[in-house]
């Protein structure tokens, strides 16, 4: 029946751009427009009961609002002015989890069209340096527009292959945080999933996984890097846990960070430190996030 199908619907997530406004100002603005604010999400089912002009604050991400899936903000003032970003909850996780400090040097390795870059800039309060790379010139030009609208100023965009960025260049000597969101099969995107109902061609997945592993290994070559977040919008183990597994084997100086203990959908065994997301369990697109951190230097024995 109708109630049962509700659980398959992804609500409309709206990230408040704190470079331009505040959560309270956006909530007030929307209330004056007739929206009804219902407080913070308590249970997953709350999201299935959103309708009309009611909205909630997300349970995990502070500056994220949730509306019924039918809500369209594409022509809304707040969107056009860059005060809100239309971004699925799962895709807000990487920057939120990387959480680079204000003033830090950060790389966004595969950045276009730039929603995660703008999220990183908001977390950094536009202070520090945000090096953003992408191979695709057209996507980068879309990204420039998006970053301008979002008021991002701490970035440096480059139309460059991340795999050819020299980790030993003095430009990146202070980079401690890297976000890596490389091209993937997109098998977690719900709108794509219906069209691509045939199973993914294995050769294609293998090529993607090899590329993703190459990127992840490359990210760990930056001499000062402390934390790397790896994410995909794929549901395939091959592009997710298997990439992380192979990378850790190559890089014994790094380990996984246990992410959000109260997030129930975890990476497949034994990679339960990582997060997964899905329509069924988190009311988002299918997604995967891992965070690797450099192991602290072992102090020599005292004998």
Q: Which residues of 20-52 are buried (b: 16+ CB within 10 A; e: fewer)?
A: bbeeeebbebbeeeebeeeeebeeeebbbebee
Spatial contact of 185 and 179, defined as CB atoms under 8 Å apart: no
Residue 184 known to be catalytic:
no
Nearer to ligand SAM, 136 or 242 (CB): 136
Distances (CA, A) of 244 to 49, 72, 124, 259, 262: 37, 36, 27, 14, 22
Strand ranges in 68-153 using DSSP code E only, listed in sequence order: 84-86, 105-108, 129-134
State both tokens at 154: 């701490």
Which run of H or of E encompasses 46?
helix 44-48
Minimal distance, residue 74 CB to ligand SAM, in Å: 17
| Burial zone of 252 (CB within 10 Å; 0-12 exposed, 13-18 middle, 19+ buried) | exposed
Question: CA-CA distance, 184 to 181, in Å (whole number)?
Answer: 9
**Nearest residue to ligand SAM, using CB?**
110
Minimal distance, residue 123 CB to ligand SAM, in Å: 14
The residue length of the chain stands at 303
Minimal distance, residue 152 CB to ligand SAM, in Å: 12
Nearer to ligand SAM, 57 or 112 (CB): 112
Residues in contact with ligand SAM by the rule CB under 6 A: 91, 110-116, 133-136, 139, 161-163, 181-183
Q: Which of 57, 233, 247, 274 is catalytic?
A: 233
Nearer to ligand SAM, 59 or 93 (CB): 93
Nearer to ligand SAM, 110 or 130 (CB): 110
Minimal distance, residue 134 CB to ligand SAM, in Å: 4
Minimal distance, residue 225 CB to ligand SAM, in Å: 17
Give residues with Cβ within 8 angstroms of 52, minimum separation 6.
68
Nearer to ligand SAM, 78 or 150 (CB): 150
Active site residues: 233
């Amino acid at each position: 029946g109708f109630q049962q199908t509700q659980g398959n619907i992804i609500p409309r997530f709206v990230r408040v751009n704190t470079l331009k406004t505040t959560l309270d100002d956006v909530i007030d603005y929307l209330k004056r427009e007739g929206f009804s604010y219902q407080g913070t999400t308590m249970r997953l089912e709350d999201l299935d009961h959103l309708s009309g002009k009611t909205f909630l604050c997300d349970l995990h991400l502070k500056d994220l609002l949730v509306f019924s899936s039918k809500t369209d903000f594409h022509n809304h003032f707040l969107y056009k002015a860059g005060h809100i970003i239309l971004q699925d909850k799962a895709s807000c996780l990487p920057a939120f989890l990387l959480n680079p400090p204000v003033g830090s040097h950060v790389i966004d390795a595969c950045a276009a069209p730039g929603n995660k870059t703008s999220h990183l800039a908001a977390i950094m309060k536009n202070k520090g340096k945000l090096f953003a790379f992408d191979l695709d010139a057209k996507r980068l030009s879309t990204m420039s527009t998006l970053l301008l609208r979002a008021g991002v100023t701490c970035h440096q965009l480059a139309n460059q292959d991340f795999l050819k960025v020299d980790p030993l260049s003095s430009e990146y000597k202070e980079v401690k945080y890297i976000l890596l969101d490389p091209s993937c099969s997109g098998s977690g995107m719900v709108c794509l999933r219906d069209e691509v109902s045939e199973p993914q061609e294995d050769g294609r997945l293998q090529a993607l996984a090899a590329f993703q592993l190459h990127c992840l290994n490359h990210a760990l070559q930056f001499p000062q890097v402390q934390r790397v977040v790896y994410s995909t919008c794929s549901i395939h183990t091959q592009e997710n846990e298997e990439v992380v597994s192979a990378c850790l084997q190559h890089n014994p100086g790094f380990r996984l960070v246990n992410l959000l203990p109260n997030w129930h959908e975890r990476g497949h065994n034994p990679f339960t430190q990582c997060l997964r997301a899905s329509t069924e369990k988190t009311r988002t697109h299918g997604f995967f996030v891992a965070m690797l951190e450099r192991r602290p230097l072992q102090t020599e024995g005292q004998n």
